Amino acid sequence: MTQREFLNIVMPFKDKVFRLAKRILISTEEAEDATQEVMLKLWNNKAKIAEYRNVEAFSMTMTKNYCFDKLKSKQSQNLKIVHSNYEDKHTTLQRQVELNDSVSWVAKIIEELPEQQKLIIQLRDIEEYDYDEIADMLNMNQTAVRVNLSRARKTIREKLTNTHNYGIK
């Protein structure tokens, strides 16, 4: 496989690998390192890439496993939470503060979800993968993915509603 062929296969989903790594590791720097590691592993195994049925799903699984290994290691104690990925230049300052607050609350709520629900929310609602792709990546059946996604969304909705209505965390 030539370098051009490899890049044509891998580059379209490089950003998704980064976003998944960032969701799991939180730190932008750690997510960049994880993305680089996954891409390097893919490059080192480029001769075998053609054998994989779905290279993107394989890469996302590699990313998930690498990030979990990273969190288990001693290096994970330096990770910090930083979320600033929403910006709309056409809103008033008041509305922008409210939107940023809501995004922050949703991010905090997602971080409190069980690990599996957190991953499924990331893969389905942010990365927009299909249920069968998520099921393959997480070694689950499709029904379990749907149930976990439903529970995660319900938890987010309830906690966000309580926060906005009553100021309850």
124 found inside a domain: yes
Per-residue model confidence as pLDDT tens digits over 49-103: 777 778 888 889 999 999 888 888 755 455 444 444 445 455 577 777 777 777 8
What is each CA distance from 21 to 77, 104, 139, 159, in whole angstroms? 16, 19, 18, 25
Q: What is the amino acid identity at position 52?
A: Y
Phi-psi region of 26 (alpha: psi -120 to 50; beta: other; left: phi over 0): left
15: domain CATH number?
Answer: 1.10.1740.10
161 within some domain: yes
Whether residue 83 is contained in a domain is answered as no
Question: How many domains are there within the chain?
Answer: 2
Looking at the chain, how many residues does it have? 169
128: left (phi over 0), alpha (psi -120 to 50) or beta: left
pLDDT in tens, 33-56: 999 999 999 888 887 877 777 888
Q: Which of 55, 78, 101 is the last residue of a domain?
A: 78
**pTM of the complete model:** 0.55
Vertex 133, ends 73 and 67: CA angle to 5°? 10
Q: How far is CA 5 from the centre of its chain?
A: 26
Query: Does one domain contain both 8 and 74?
Result: yes
Tell me, yes or no, whether 156 lies in a domain: yes
- What confidence score (pLDDT) does residue 43 get? 87
Domain final residue, candidates 78, 111, 136: 78
Q: Identify the domain containing residue 20 by its residue range.
A: 3-78
Which residues make Cβ contacts (< 8 Å) with residue 32, sequence separation at least 6? 18
Q: Residue 80 has which token pair?
A: 């910090």
Q: For residues 158 and 109, give the distance between their C-alpha atoms in angstroms, rounded to a whole number.
A: 10
pLDDT tens, 140-163?
999 999 999 999 999 988 888 887
Instruction: Report H helices in 1-141.
Output: 3-10, 14-25, 28-44, 46-49, 55-72, 93-112, 115-121, 131-138
